[in-house]
Amino acid sequence: DDDESLKELIPPAWPELEAADENGTESAPRDWSRVILLCVALNSAVVASSISLLMPFFAGEALKKVPSGSRGLMNNFVIGMVFSIATFVEFLAAPLMAKDLPHAGSKLMLVLSTMEICALLLLFSFVNRIGSWSVFLTLCMAIRFFQGIATAGYFVSSFSVLIGAYPESKGFVNGVLRAANGFGYAIGPVVGGVLYDWGGFALPFYVGGAMLFVDTAMLIILLPSSESELSSTELKKDVSFMRLLKVPWVWMVLLSLFLANMIMGFVEPTLAVYLKESFNLSAAYAGYGFFIFSVFYSGIALPVGHLIDKWLNPSL
């Protein structure tokens, strides 16, 4: 019974290929859908957890760099910019990544994006050794800038890979990515806070980099290299981005996403500092504050995606 319920929740990819297998056709290609689902979901969780490792302690560490007597609103604003610049760059880079995806290939873009995030995370482990406030912020902003580009590539390619394996289940695909991403953002700050309290500023980034390195190796080994095995022919359509923006309800979706991410973004640079100054809580306890916020997001994403596929038509 459990197996049957699981099969209903995870829709099959390319039903005609599975039907061919059942009929004993030897020429039917291997169904990579379950492997692709596992790889991309795990990658999404690992990337999100690695990116969110710094949330419970970075703002406090950055404020320690502020010259004595000059702490004020502007410094808090600049620290907030360190958090927000990655998302802003991701917003600008995502359409360009989507346009380049057919030329680069889904697997290559996903692997390279994950490798770039890994390298930038390891580079971030050294910024705390810089004594100058201005140099420290400049380097942090530069790393987060390129991290935004890499994250855009990761989001675009991971969605492309999964939607290619499950072309008739777009709600399910979106739900899987959102659930895995939310799970990563839930555990990342907790792990980051604990590692920071135990081993200092650099340790969370070392651990995150190691996780991403292993995850990149998994993508290279397990994901099929052939684009025909990664995506169905139904998805190979040239859709103009400007044409998409002419659809009225697309703007409603974009506005909803903008407001939701803006509200979530308020918490990143402020919660840890507030908990430290008001209640003298350590970074580990601050991580649990981010955990509570993200775990509900993760828990509701997959059921909502399943309901969308069942009751609505998520296709454009």
- Residue-wise pLDDT for 51-109, tens only, equals 999 999 998 888 888 876 666 656 778 888 898 899 889 988 988 898 888 788 888 99
202: Cα separation from own chain's centroid: 22
DSSP 65-92: TSPTT--SHHHHHHHHHHHHHHHHHHHH
Query: Would you state the pLDDT for residue 207?
Result: 96
Place of tokens 């390195």: 213
- 213-234 average pLDDT score: 74
Q: pTM, whole model, 2 decimals?
A: 0.81
The mean pLDDT value of the chain amounts to 80
- Provide, for the chain, the percentages of residues in helix, strand and coil under a 3-state DSSP scheme, each rounded to the nearest 5: 80, 0, 20
Closest CA to 190 of 252, 119, 282: 282
**Listed range (134-143, 206-215, 259-268) with the worst mean pLDDT:** 259-268
Class of residue 109 by CB neighbours under 10 A (exposed 0-12, middle 13-18, buried 19+): buried
Residue 23 has pLDDT above 70, yes or no: no
Query: Would you state the pLDDT for residue 115?
Result: 96
Residue 153 has pLDDT above 90, yes or no: yes
Query: Would you state the pLDDT for residue 240?
Result: 64
- 223-245 average pLDDT score: 60
Closest CA to 267 of 50, 56, 53: 56
